[in-house]
Amino acid sequence: MSHGIGIVGTGGIADKHALAVGQVEGAELVAVMSRSEERAKAFAERHGCRAYTSMSEFLDDPELDIVSICTPSGYHMEPALEAIAAGKHLVVEKPLEITLERCDAIIEAAAQKGVKVMGIFQSRFYDASRVLKETVEKGRFGRLVLGDAYVKWYRSQEYYDRGEWKGTWRFDGGGALMVQAIHAIDLLQWYMGRVDTVQAYAKILGHERIEVEDTAVATLEFENGALGVIEGSTAVYPGFLKRIEISGTEGSAIMEEEDFKAWTFAKEIPEDEEIRRRFSGATRTQGGAADPGAISLEGHVRQFQAFVDALREGREPPVDGYEARKAVAIILAIYESAKTGRKVKVDY
């Protein structure tokens, strides 16, 4: 059985979804929905699918059974709920939504309707990310001591001026953390476990005419007792690859995009040298550090494939709605701490 996938939205990330679906076994892009007839038709011509400007007509497409939401972040819930009500499975580009209430509305509606939801966090599907996750689960780091995420990216003023919704609380839901660093934050909590409390600062330092932060720093205490730091910015020229550092009593790893800059353990095993060799110079793109379009397609392809496979096999998809909610909860706690000056507990 081939699953028919339709995309809501026609921005840059929608093109990534369309290209990814084209490489997925057992899936076909069948439709796109945009309120702009011009944009819908242009997208459909690029990707060989049907164009709709009516959500109800889009959802009535007989070949459609999975809907991918690629609208601005603060407008994920509305089309998501319509798709769920129509009995469609759901893929939502990050973040799942910009408030926990809106995230929960999607999660609860899908559970009641019996359809599956997957949030896009494609960084989990790269080989280096998987190797690091497996190594943490094997306990090779000993007791986890520090977990840090650094996303020092660059976005020009033109990037924010390009669309009326960019850099707004209403549609972006936040700045450097919610829009850019969220992938690294998701990876960090995936490796280290739940964040218990955060203490943070957030500022606008390098841009004008935006409401949200372009620079933020937070200290973290994880539920397992480990400590950590998150740094996120879109004001750092020229932009650097995202960096995750995991440190424990028996080992440490530093992952820069898809490369390991450090991979060292008190008890070495034969595979360690092969990992160091394999993931030295593995990164082939700039990872969005300076150009939002300069991300690899591989992660999206793998995540869509995993979703289609899960539907075929009747099991839960990777990064379900609850998993996708976690990074949003951490970021919102950071915003609350920056606003109030107090230590804030993450609301899971």
Q: Give the integer Cα–Cα distance in Å for 27 and 249.
A: 45
User: Do you know the residue count of the chain?
Assistant: 348
- Whether residue 234 sits in one domain with residue 93: no
Q: Is 267 helix (H, G, I), strand (E, B) or coil?
A: coil
- Whether residue 194 sits in one domain with residue 96: no
Look at residue 305 and tell me if it is in a domain: no
- Whether residue 187 sits in one domain with residue 65: no
**Last residue in a domain, options 80, 99, 115:** 115
- Whether residue 132 sits in one domain with residue 75: no
- Which H or E run contains 182? helix 182-192
Look at residue 10 and tell me if it is in a domain: yes
The angle subtended at Cα 315 by Cα 313 and Cα 318, nearest 5°, is: 110
Whether residue 317 has a cis bond before it, omega within 30° of 0:
no
Look at residue 332 and tell me if it is in a domain: yes
Look at residue 321 and tell me if it is in a domain: no
- Which H or E run contains 299? helix 298-313
Q: Total structural domains in the chain?
A: 2
Secondary structure (DSSP) of 94-145: SSS-SSHHHHHHHHHHHHHHT--EEE--GGGGSHHHHHHHHHHHTTTT-SEE
- Whether residue 134 sits in one domain with residue 45: no
Look at residue 298 and tell me if it is in a domain: no
151-202 per-position pLDDT tens digit: 999 999 999 998 778 999 999 999 999 999 999 999 999 999 999 999 999 9
Residue 338: the pLDDT is 98
58 Cα distance to chain centroid: 26
Residue 292: the pLDDT is 72
Residue 249: the pLDDT is 98
Rounded mean pLDDT, 135-159:
97
| CATH number of the domain enclosing 159 | 3.30.360.10
Residue 171 DSSP symbol: T
- Whether residue 128 sits in one domain with residue 105: no
Look at residue 285 and tell me if it is in a domain: yes
Please determine, for residue 291, whether its predicted confidence score (pLDDT) is greater than 70. Answer: no
272-284 per-position pLDDT tens digit: 999 999 999 867 6
- Whether residue 205 sits in one domain with residue 229: yes
Q: Which two tokens stand for residue 223?
A: 């539920």
Contact 47, 22 (CB under 8 A): yes
Contact 233, 153 (CB under 8 A): yes
| CATH number of the domain enclosing 11 | 3.40.50.720
Q: Give the integer Cα–Cα distance in Å for 24 and 5.
A: 11
Segments of 122-203 assigned E as strands: 144-152, 195-203
Share of the chain above pLDDT 90, in %: 94
9-39 per-position pLDDT tens digit: 999 999 999 999 999 999 999 999 999 999 9
- Whether residue 174 sits in one domain with residue 86: no
Q: What is the dihedral of CA 237, 240, 242, 247, to 10 degrees?
A: -110
- Whether residue 244 sits in one domain with residue 128: yes
Q: Which of 46, 26, 23, 102 is nearest to 69 (CA)?
A: 102
**Last residue in a domain, options 69, 92, 115:** 115
Please determine, for residue 285, whether its predicted confidence score (pLDDT) is greater than 70. Answer: no
- Whether residue 170 sits in one domain with residue 275: yes
127: containing domain? 123-292+327-345
Look at residue 19 and tell me if it is in a domain: yes
Q: Is residue 293 very low, low, confident or very high in pLDDT (cuts 50, 70, 90)?
A: low
Look at residue 268 and tell me if it is in a domain: yes
- Whether residue 85 sits in one domain with residue 127: no
- Whether residue 206 sits in one domain with residue 165: yes
Q: Which two tokens stand for residue 109?
A: 């509606």
Pairing assessment for the beta strands 259-265 and 251-256 based on DSSP bridges: antiparallel
Pairing assessment for the beta strands 144-152 and 243-248 based on DSSP bridges: antiparallel
Q: What is the dihedral of CA 207, 209, 212, 218, to 10 degrees?
A: 20
**Last residue in a domain, options 115, 132, 154:** 115
Rounded mean pLDDT, 268-275:
97
Which bin fits 149, alpha (ψ -120 to 50), beta or left (φ > 0)? beta
